[in-house]
Structure 1
Amino acid sequence: MGREFNDLFDEWSHSYDQTVSGQDAEYEEVFSKYDEILSTVADKAKGIVVEFGVGTGNLTTKLVQKGLHVIGIEPSSNMRKIAQNKLPNVKIIDGDFLDFDVTEKIDTFVSTYAFHHLTDVEKRKAIAKFRQRLNPHGRVVFADTVFTTDKAKQEMIQESYSKGFNRLAEDLQREYYATIPVLTNLFEENGFNVSFTQLNRFVWLMDAKLKGDDKHDGTKENER
């Protein structure tokens, strides 16, 4: 995950849980159905799970409650401290999507609200690494802000400015939010089939399985 955002997340760590609970009007729609989104990701996880961008440990908690073996990866030292205090028995280490010290073969890679911290070039490298580290029937299950097209992204930026949501509009321009066609290509060229399901106005579920996995349902895109 983009380490250039570490200072932002160290600062945000103290109010992150308030933001995701809808107490920040600018980000209320981004985090709409937050608990449901986390549950959707957790319900698809199995086996040995690596979670990227643990943050304050909210998704991690749901994974642990399912009885899964979870290894948390978080580059922000302040976020790591908060998550580790919540979950003292979970291994949470310094790392990111491209640099994580995990020796086990992984059944599921999960993440919420974090993959957009990578550029498209970095996303490609990360997905290639996921393929190398997954067990044969493993999967990648991410929920993140994604747009159907570049035009849709620009329209959302303009809508945010029109509402006076300048922080959100600047965030949408500063970070590396991808489109469904770009992400589809990145996963497919690395040997995955991937489906997309819309979870709120901003967030989509990405469910990627290695090609040849006969459990895959063949769905390419499902809109809410």
Structure 2
Amino acid sequence: MGTEFIDLFDQWADSYDATVEGQNDEYREVFRNYSDILKSVADKVSGKVIEFGSGTGNLTALLLARTTDVTGVEPSREMRRQAAKKWPEAKIVAGDFFQFPDDRESIDAFVSSYAFHHLTDDEKRKAVQLYASLLEKDGKVVFADTMFVDEHHHQQMIRKAEENHYVHLAEDLQTEYYTTIPKLKRMFENEGFEVNFSSLNQYVWILEAIKL
């Protein structure tokens, strides 16, 4: 995951849960249906699961209710500290989308929520290639993240944020590495996945890719 964002993750750790619960007007739509989004990700996987960008462990907890073999991967020390306080039974280790525990045999699924956009498109492509090499047939990648139908849609959402005077959101939409559905679709299909997208709010879609 982009190391340039780790300081931001550390700063956000104490207020992250309040933000996802809708207490920050600026990001309320980004996190609308947050519980349903996480549940939808968790419900799509089973077996041995690697979760990227675990944050404060909200998705991790749902995954643990479905399968005991879950490893959370989180680059921010402060986020890991918050997760350990809330979910002491969870295994969340330092790492990112490329660096995760060396025991990579028989992984059934890679999951993530609100994190894949921290990779550039080139990094996303390399990550997809890595996951394709580690998953067997019917293995899954299930990512919930902000993405856009096309670049025009992306620009529309930036303008909307600016019109609402959501300064931080508008800046995020311009400086983080959000991408489009067609680009993601090609990345996964080129590596032998069947991929589907479902919209959960104005910003967030769930990408479900199944290894053929």
**TM over 0.5: same fold?**
yes
2: CA distance, partners of 1:153 / 1:209: 26
Give the C-alpha shift of residue 86 in structure 1: 2.0
Q: 1:144 maps to what in 2?
A: 145
Q: How far apart are residue 161 of structure 1 and its match? A: 0.2
- Trace 1:1-224 onto structure 2 (pairs within 5 A): 1-104=1-104, 105-211=106-212
Secondary structure of 1:62's aligned partner: helix
Aligned-residue offset at 1:7: 0.1
| Preserved CA contact (<8 Å) 2:46 2:66 | no
TM superposition score normalised by structure 1: 0.92
After superposition, what is the alpha-carbon deviation per residue over 1:1-33, rounded to whole angstroms, capped at 9, x for unaligned? Answer: 111100000000000000000000000000000
Q: Secondary structure at the match of 2:137?
A: strand
CA distance in 2: counterparts of 1:150 and 1:31, whole angstroms: 21
Q: Percent identity?
A: 52
- Give the SS at the match of 2:136: strand
Q: CA RMSD in A?
A: 0.9
TM-score of the superposed pair, with normalisation by structure 2: 0.97
What is the number of equivalent residue pairs in this alignment? 211
What is the DSSP-based 3-state SS (H/G/I as helix, E as strand, rest coil) of the residue aligned with 1:13? helix
Is the Cα contact below 8 Å between 1:108 and 1:139 reproduced in 2? yes
Matched-pair contact (CA < 8 Å) for 2:46–2:67: no
Q: What is the rounded CA distance, in whole Å, between the counterparts of 1:86 and 1:133 in structure 2?
A: 31
Please list the CA deviations of residues 140-198 of structure 1 after superposition, one character each: whole Å capped at 9, or x if unmatched.
00100010000000000001000000100000001000100100111111111110000
AA of the residue aligned to 1:207 = E
SS at match of 1:96: coil
Offset of 1:92 from its aligned partner? 1.1
CA distance in 1: counterparts of 2:202 and 2:192, whole angstroms: 29
Equivalent in the alignment of 1:217: none
Which amino acid is 2:11 matched to? E
Asked whether the equivalents of residues 49 and 68 of structure 1 are also in contact (C-alpha less than 8 Å), the reply is no
Alpha-carbon distance, 1:201 to partner: 0.5
Instruction: Tell me how far apart the structure 2 counterparts of residues 174 and 150 of structure 1 sit (CA, whole Å).
Output: 14
Q: Which blocks of at least 5 consecutive residues in structure 2 are unaligned?
A: none
CA distance in 2, matches of 1:137, 1:198: 23
Measure, in 2, the Cα distance between the counterparts of 1:194 and 1:112.
Answer: 17
Aligned residues of 1:197 and 1:205 also touching (Cα < 8 A)? yes
